[in-house]
């Protein structure tokens, strides 16, 4: 009896997934039809009213032109979350610009960075460890090349890069 109930639940979930996918397809088709019907002149007029913080993420051109303004829209508390989220998604394009903009600060200013009961010598070593934990292969590969290019990874295996924080009673 239990097996039958589990099978019924699985079938219900599959049916619900199919319905959700059908709704998403209909919405996408509707958006494409609306975009075809709107004249290009009207689209350019509407585009002029979009704020910069939305335009940045529309395409590569706008990101390249205005990526430095992203930090104005993100609070200082959420900047690290933005960086970690970029790594989680293995978004190499954005990660490259974040790394080039901040690597000097990460190496020289952020020392003894603490994250989840671990202390890292600097923020760059944390980023490398976080890439490994999140299986962000593209970001990790780029970070390793970047570190080799600037001779930051030399003898890294000899350095104590991570140490666990232990609680004393």
Instruction: Judge whether 81 lies within some domain.
Output: yes
pTM for the model stands at: 0.65
> Are residue 84 and residue 29 in the same domain, yes or no?
no
Of residues 151 and 66, more confidence is placed in: 66
- Picking from 107, 65, 109, 63, the residue whose alpha carbon sits closest to that of residue 86 is 63
pLDDT at 150: 76
In a domain, 53, yes or no: no
> Is there a domain that residue 67 lies in?
no
Residue 50 lies in a domain: no
Statement: residue 5 has pLDDT above 50: no
pLDDT-wise least confident of 33-42, 102-111, 113-122, 136-145 = 33-42
Task: Tell me if 86 is assigned to some domain.
Answer: yes
Same domain, 90 and 32: no
58 located within any domain: no
pLDDT at 142: 92
- The set of long-range contacts for 120-128, using a CB threshold of 8 Å and a minimum separation of 24, is 120/161, 120/162, 121/159, 121/160, 121/161, 124/152, 125/161, 125/162, 127/83, 127/87, 127/99
Alpha-carbon distance of 78 to 71, in angstroms, equals 9
- 81 with 28, same domain: the answer is no
Residue 15 pLDDT grade (very low, low, confident, very high; cuts 50, 70, 90): low
Domain range for 13: 2-37
Give me the number of domains the chain comprises.
Answer: 2
């Amino acid at each position: 009896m239990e097996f039958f109930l589990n099978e019924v639940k699985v079938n219900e979930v599959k049916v619900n997934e199919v319905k959700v996918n059908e709704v998403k397809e209909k919405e996408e088709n509707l958006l494409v039809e609306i975009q075809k019907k709107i004249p290009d002149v009207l689209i350019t007029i509407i585009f002029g009213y979009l704020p910069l913080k939305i335009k940045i993420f529309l395409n590569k051109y706008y990101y390249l032109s205005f990526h430095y303004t992203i930090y104005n829209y993100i609070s200082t508390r959420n900047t690290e979350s933005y960086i970690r989220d970029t790594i989680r998604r293995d978004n190499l394009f954005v990660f490259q610009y974040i790394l080039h903009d901040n690597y000097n600060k990460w190496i020289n200013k952020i020392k003894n960075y603490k994250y989840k009961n671990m202390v890292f010598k600097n923020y760059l070593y944390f980023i490398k460890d976080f890439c490994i934990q999140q299986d962000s292969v593209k970001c990790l590969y780029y970070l390793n090349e970047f570190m080799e290019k600037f001779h930051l990874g030399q003898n890294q295996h000899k350095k104590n890069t991570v140490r666990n924080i232990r609680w004393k009673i």
